[in-house]
Amino acid sequence: MQTDKPFKTIDEQIHILTIKRHLSINNVEAAKDILQRYGYYEIINGYKTHFLNDPNDDDKGYKEDASFEHIYDLYKLDRDIRRDLLESLEYFEQTFKQALAYSVAKIISDEQARYTAKSHYNTGKTHHRGRHIYNDRDRLLKKFNKLINSDKQPFEHYRQDHHNIPPWIMIKGMSFGEVIYWYRLSKPEIRFNVIAELLGIDTTLLRVSNSDLKISQMIGDLLGLYLSYRNLTAHGGRVYNHRSERYKLRWTPLIYPNVIAASRQEFNKGNYRSSLGVVMRTLKIFDNPEPFNNLEIWLQIHLKNYLKLHKDDKDFLLEAMELDSTHIKFNLD
């Protein structure tokens, strides 16, 4: 079967870029090495749009001042941002996991037989697989049981030596997505305590203000958005101009305009709801400052280094990341 994207050798790829699409390459041999190592699709297809005469038609060629090296620099910038975003989200993930484990132990028990009991969790959604019907709670309890009986460490050690796997050990064997399931299926008292721990506020104040400020909704939306970026970064996705249609934030007064100075009109157009800039700024609302500080510091460093080479890209990048000067005070000089 023929394909409209047939295999091309590195020389053929260079020919397409330079002869057919008029892209400048300052060092052809270096470009060949780069394409061989990282791939045409990853570099060119991933980052070409800003440099094309017509973003919808590659055959109309590249802008006169575009170069392979410029595209590659943007690719490297995004790679650096992706690495530091992943690190910051891992910091947040660890904080979230500890808040949940602490809340479960405090409110239910640290004994596995008690906190893994079915009665402590909502059923969630129902799923069908052939004739088999199961729900989200069934999946969570199955995960608990798998870790309780695991021969891996530290689960085997706690089972054999302590005859119990407390929640702060159980949670070590769970992914970010699985822990979010645990949180969402937990009873309201657990979820409120987790939110209070994350925000560094009293649970009584949280209960009083939750309805008007939509705090539970906000945390639920942010967890979904952070998980989507966590998965995107872990799989090498492009992040600098990413938008998530599925995990867009809903309006909440704690974020808009207190954290993100977006108007309701901008918000309704879909702006400032799921970009890299939104992820970074919303990390600032939590009691642990490290995820935000890490990302803000490194993002500024990477942007400064890139703009030393391509100063005219400043507005383009800040708009792509939704980090324009109206919404954040970046010192990029």
Residue range 33-64, pLDDT digits in tens: 999 999 999 999 999 999 999 999 999 999 99
Mean pLDDT, the chain, whole residue set: 94
Top mean pLDDT of 190-194, 262-266, 322-326, 328-332 is at: 190-194
State the pLDDT at residue 277.
95
Compute the average pLDDT of residues 67-87: 98
The structure tokens listed for 176 are 């970010």
What pLDDT shows up at residue 258? Answer: 87
Structure-block tokens of residue 147 = 């870790």
pLDDT exceeds 60 at position 78: yes
Report CA-CA distances (Å) from 221 to 94, 192, 225. Answer: 18, 15, 6
For the chain, which residues make up each domain, given as ranges? 10-66, 81-321
pTM as predicted = 0.94
What's residue 272's pLDDT? 95
For the stretch 16-23, contacts whose Cβ atoms lie closer than 8 Å and that sit 24 or more positions apart, written own/partner, are: 17/44, 17/68, 20/59, 20/61, 21/58, 21/59, 21/61, 21/62, 22/61, 22/62, 23/51, 23/61, 23/62, 23/66, 23/67, 23/68
Closest by CA to 58, choosing from 4, 7, 104, 109, is: 4
Task: Work out the pLDDT band at 120, boundaries 50, 70, 90.
Answer: very high
Arithmetic mean of pLDDT, 19-33:
97
The answer to whether the CB of 327 falls within 8 A of the CB of 272 is: yes
As a whole number, mean pLDDT of residues 76-100 equals 98
The pLDDT value recorded for residue 329 is: 63
Tens of pLDDT, residue by residue over 277-307, are 999 999 999 999 999 999 999 999 999 999 9
- pLDDT band, residue 123 (cuts 50/70/90): very high
Give tens-digit pLDDT for 189-225. 999 999 999 999 999 999 999 988 999 999 999 999 9
Q: How confident is the model at residue 325 (pLDDT cuts 50, 70, 90)?
A: low
User: Mean pLDDT throughout 7-24?
Assistant: 95
- The yes-or-no verdict on residue 4 having pLDDT over 80 is no
Q: Which pLDDT does position 128 carry in this prediction? A: 85
Whole-number pLDDT of residue 222:
98
Q: SS3 letters for 74-120?
A: HHHHHHHHHHHHHHHHHHHHHHHHHHHHHHHHHHCCCCHHHHCCHHH
Q: What is the pLDDT of residue 2?
A: 55
SS3 56: coil
- Position 328 scores a pLDDT of 60
8-state DSSP, 243: -
pLDDT band at residue 238 under the 50/70/90 scheme: very high
